[in-house]
Structure 1
């Protein structure tokens, strides 16, 4: 009939590959709480039969999940052999977040705002709860940055260690892992920006001063001041190193 509007054209959707179905099934068990850290997965043959997929699909799924840090496998026989839910899946989280940021999936403003949110929290937590032993790695990184005529690459290494140490001293592992990932992903861009600055000695001196002020606030257990100084430092350093 003339003038009739055509309806949507539906096309068959591709079937998921076998290993994706296996991954989805394992993720579902983890999210439901029926698989927890240290629990074994069924043997490859059993898992393939239960999910009605090929053993090759199960093997591929296990390889992917191992790469993500979700499972760990031990070959051989006996009680310790098999595939288990990993105790430290945060390694996979850090790796993937680091790669996503490094590949440019987030612009610089998003990185800055994320760092501010994370590191304000870390600074406040550290000021409230960390003792001298917890602050030791922060102090060590601070002292390393005070080396005269320090090269930008070396400064950036200790600068990263300073911020990451504060994150870990705060006691929130998720915040610390995310902070570590973001800092690692920005290592090369920050090094390049430091090398290209017109007066590295002056910029370095200003960054040192800000780091020392943050350290003092942490040692004084002044959570509000530590958070404010941390935010100001992050925003200013990006403004100086990445001028618009």
Structure 2
């Protein structure tokens, strides 16, 4: 089969799965038929089916596992932030997406999220994840890489209160795209012991403003926090 024909066969499987998801024929947690069954259904090679499934795994739409049992086979999942994070990280590494532009985009989305969270219909219980992350970051024994991971999760948890899943997904992806650069910069520049105390103070202030539903103050504090951190790190 030629490269063009293989590409068309690959696209047939992708379009079928997309249409099935859109129509509701396929739902999260559903299992796809095996490679052989799909190949026979569309009259294409198993290699073309395999390529299509791998593409959807990279996109965070499917998860494949060998063996037997409830977690085996190819299952419909949804993990868009992971897929977007990988794609953005590669483009940042290629210097097509400058780190400073990623930071600026993050500031725009996060300030918008915290402003809108003030009027969003979340309950105090929904703050629990952010509160637990805040408390976990108080541990003086945390390595900087673990702290920055918890830091990223804390910001995403607060931004999620706005209720916009697209913004939350993009936020998580942007953080993932440059986390390696941040960890490298923190290690290279030193002075982490002093910086971490400032970060904790910033986090507490932001959390308290969000908890009080003060959108203007939340947005201002998070902008100042992000700008301060990246001035230190980059």
TM-score bucket of the superposed structures, by smaller chain: 0.7 to 0.9
Matches within 5 A, 1:72-111: 86=76, 88-89=77-78, 91=79, 93-103=80-90, 104-105=93-94, 106-111=97-102
Structure 2 stretches lacking a partner, 5+ long: none
- Contact 2:110 2:171 (8 Å CA) reproduced: yes
Cα distance, 1:108–1:48 mapped onto 2, change above 3 Å: same
Three-state SS of the structure 2 residue aligned to 1:146 is: coil
Q: How much does 1:168 deviate?
A: 3.1
**Residues 1:16 and 1:27: Cα distance change in structure 2 (over 3 Å):** farther
Partner SS for 1:37: coil
* Match for residue 117 of structure 1 among 99, 105, 108: 108
Instruction: Give me the TM-score of the superposition, normalised by structure 1.
Output: 0.72
Confirm whether residue 227 of structure 1 aligns to residue 219 of structure 2.
yes
Change in 2 beyond 3 A, CA 1:29/1:40: farther
CA, structure 1 residues 155+34, in 2 after alignment: closer, same or farther (shift >3 Å)?
closer
Aligned-residue CA RMSD (Å): 3.5
Partners of 1:22 and 1:57 within 8 A in 2: no
What is the match of residue 232 of structure 2? Answer: 240
Q: Please state how far the C-alpha of 1:108 moved relative to its aligned partner.
A: 0.5
Distance 2:66 2:207 in 1: 47
- For 1:120 and 1:231, the matched residues in 2 are separated by 7
- Pick one of 153, 168, 180 that aligns with 1:188: 180
Q: Which protein is bigger by CA-based radius of gyration? A: 1
After superposition, give the CA deviation of every residue in 1:123-160 in whole Å (9 maximum; x if it has no partner). 23433333321111212222222334654223213212
- The SS at the match of 1:221 is coil
Partner of 1:143: 135
Q: Classify 1:75/1:213 alpha carbon distance in 2 versus 1 (closer, same or farther; 3 Å).
A: closer
Hey, which of these two has a bigger chunk of helix by percent? 2
Aligned length: 224
Q: Is residue 217–residue 226 contact of structure 1 (8 Å, CA) maintained in 2?
A: yes
| Matches of 2:10 and 2:224, distance apart in 1 | 44
The 3 A distance-change label for structure 1 pair 109 and 46 is same
CA 148–131 in structure 1, closer or farther in 2 if over 3 Å, else same = same
Q: Which runs of 5+ in 1 are unaligned?
A: 1-13
Kept in 2, the 8 Å contact 1:127–1:217? The answer is no
My pick for the range that moved more, 23-32 or 120-129, is: 23-32
Q: What secondary structure does 1:133 align onto?
A: helix
**Candidates 10, 21, 27, aligned match of 1:20:** 10
SS in 2 for 1:156: helix
Q: Distance in 2 between matches of 1:26 and 1:113?
A: 38
Contact 2:58 2:83 in 1 (8 A): no
3-state DSSP of counterpart to 2:27 = coil
For 1:37, the equivalent position in structure 2 comes to 27
